[in-house]
């Protein structure tokens, strides 16, 4: 099949536009001259094989995306994302989304190569009562994991990864974005949680985005920190799912508190790893407190020092700080471990591991050391 110059040029132009890059910026990042890049985009020159690989590496996509019609990337989804929400994404956030989707693609490839087991979960909503969908789906998923009625999910990120969702946390410059759910054509459900949020809020956002992955068919959904209108049933349903998954009525009604005050709401919000607002809403829904009490208690804040990230538990402060930096860049502990396991099994080279972890060879050594992995012994 002959190389399609027009198709290649169109794809390159679209990717550059999505990343809000001019030709000079792409030239600086790729090492290919602006004149040659322009010639590619206008169909006046064909790239060499090395140039295709360089551009694929820069845009974090499979090189075959440029030379075939296969749906190997989420290009249609990102096009929809920026068409609908473009003003919400700054240039750095667009790069973050690009790399997030690349991590999802790599994780999917590694899981298939390593035959990582999944506990697939599906739920088909019936009827038109959206809150009912959310409550039942949350109940079914808790049962899927065999959670007792009074059990609190300790690591929701791992829960949703277990059912096949790709969950990554990364700091976004726009703090108004709490999460993004993308239905990737090959990787499946991809969830990005804004690491700039409060730790407890991140847990809620992960569950909220998982609800979109379970209950909604839209290619892309962006969730914001601002309040939603009551008529936005999709977001209301996702919020209700998150609340019921993290804090179902059976747990709320079993709390041994007879008089709710500041001390009690702080103690139990910390115990359940939810915000005081989420807890007071659950108490209101269960008819345990009145509106005025709920309004007063929801203004109380659990001190940040008391909040523990489940993926950083039982680590020294130094190790936790280093891993926190990785999370800000989108690298989860489970993903890093998966990459090194693939390397250990001889499925990928050290250079490829560095690419998948978005680091150079020197940084790869530091990363391996953080995870107590001796690359020299392999």
Tens of pLDDT, residues 234-281: 999 999 999 999 999 999 999 999 999 999 999 999 999 999 999 999
Residue of 229, 238, 248 lying closest to 191 (CA atoms)? 238
pLDDT of residue 290: 93
Contacts of 44 (CB under 8 A, 6+ apart): 5
- Judge contact between 90 and 176, C-beta under 8 A: no
Three-state secondary structure readout of the chain: CCCCHHHHHHHHHHHHHHCCCCHHHHHHHHCCCHHHHHHHHCCCCCCCHHHHHHHHHHCCCCCHHHHCCCCCCCHHHHHHHHHHHHHHCCHHHHHHHHHHHHHHHHHHHHHHHHCCCCCCCCCCCCCCCHHHHHHHHHHHHHHHCCCCCCCCCCCHHHHHHHCCCEEEEECCCCCCEEEEEEEECCCEEEEEEECCCCHHHHHHHHHHHHHHHHHCCCCEEEEECCCCCCCCHHHHHHHHHHHHHHCCHHHHCCCCCCCCCHHHHHHHHHHHCCCHHHHHHHHHHCCCCCHHHHHHHCCCCCCHHHCCCHHHCCCCHHHHHHHHHHHHCCCCHHHHHHHHHHHHCCCCCHHHHHHHCCCCHHHHHHHHHHCCCCHHHC
Q: Which of 139, 180, 142, 135 is nearest to 159 (CA)?
A: 142
CA dist., res. 345 & res. 337, Å (int): 12
Q: Are strands 166-170 and 188-194 parallel, antiparallel or unpaired?
A: parallel
Mean pLDDT by 10 residues, the chain (378 residues): 84 95 97 97 95 95 86 87 94 96 96 94 90 95 94 92 97 95 96 95 96 95 86 92 94 93 94 92 92 93 86 84 89 94 93 93 88 73
Q: d(Cα 184, Cα 98) in Å, to the nearest integer?
A: 12
pLDDT at 377: 55
Q: Which residues pair with 189 in a beta bridge?
A: 183
Nearest Cα to Cα of residue 378 among 334, 337, 340: 340
Q: Supply the pLDDT for residue 310.
A: 82
User: Could you give the C-alpha distances from 224 to 84, 177, 178, 194, in angstroms and in order?
Assistant: 14, 4, 5, 10
pTM of the shown model: 0.93
User: Cα angle vertex 93, ends 90, 95, to 5°?
Assistant: 115
Q: Which long-range contacts (CB under 8 A, 24 or more apart) does 332-335 make?
A: 332/157, 332/167, 332/168, 332/169, 334/157, 334/158, 334/161, 335/103, 335/106, 335/107, 335/168
- What's residue 317's pLDDT? 86
pLDDT at position 73: 84
Distance CA 39, CA 99 (A): 26
> How confident is the model at residue 2, as a pLDDT?
64
Place of tokens 């993308």: 182
Q: Which domains occur in the chain, in start order?
A: 5-72 (1.10.260.40), 74-246 (no CATH), 248-307 (no CATH), 310-377 (no CATH)
- Give 302's Cβ-side CA count (13 Å radius): 24
């Amino acid at each position: 099949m002959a190389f399609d110059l027009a198709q290649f040029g169109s794809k390159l132009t679209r990717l550059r536009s999505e990343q809000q890059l001019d030709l000079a910026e792409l030239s600086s990042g790729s090492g290919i001259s602006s004149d040659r890049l322009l010639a590619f985009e206008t169909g006046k020159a064909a790239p060499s094989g090395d140039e295709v690989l360089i551009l694929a590496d820069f845009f974090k996509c499979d090189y075959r995306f440029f030379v075939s019609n296969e749906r190997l990337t989420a290009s249609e989804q990102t096009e929809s994302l920026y068409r609908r929400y473009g003003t919400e994404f700054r240039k750095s956030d667009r790069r973050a989304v690009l790399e997030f989707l690349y991590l999802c693609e790599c994780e999917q490839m590694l899981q298939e190569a390593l035959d990582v087991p999944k506990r697939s979960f599906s739920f088909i909503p019936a009827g038109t009562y959206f809150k009912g969908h959310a409550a039942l789906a949350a109940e079914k998923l808790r049962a899927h994991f065999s959670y007792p009625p009074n059990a609190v999910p300790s690591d929701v990120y791992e829960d949703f990864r277990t059912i096949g969702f790709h969950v990554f946390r990364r700091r976004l410059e726009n703090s108004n974005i709490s999460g993004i759910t993308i239905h990737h054509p090959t990787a499946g459900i991809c969830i990005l949680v804004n690491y700039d949020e409060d730790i407890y809020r991140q847990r809620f956002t992960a569950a909220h985005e998982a609800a979109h992955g379970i209950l909604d068919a839209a290619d892309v959904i962006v969730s914001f920190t601002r309040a939603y209108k009551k008529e936005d049933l999709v977001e209301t349903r996702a919020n209700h799912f998150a609340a019921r998954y993290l804090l179902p009525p059976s747990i709320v009604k079993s709390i041994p508190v007879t008089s709710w005050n500041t001390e009690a709401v702080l103690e139990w919000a910390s115990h359940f790893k939810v915000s005081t607002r989420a807890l007071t809403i659950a108490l209101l829904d269960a008819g345990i407190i009145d509106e005025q009490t709920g309004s007063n208690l929801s203004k109380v804040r659990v001190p940040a020092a008391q909040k523990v990230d489940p993926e950083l538990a039982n680590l020294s402060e130094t190790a936790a700080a280093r891993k926190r930096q990785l999370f800000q860049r989108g690298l989860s502990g489970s993903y890093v471990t998966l990459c090194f396991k693939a390397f250990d099994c001889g499925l990928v080279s050290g250079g490829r591991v560095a690419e998948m972890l978005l680091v150079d060879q020197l940084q790869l050594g530091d990363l391996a050391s953080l995870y107590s992995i001796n690359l020299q012994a392999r």
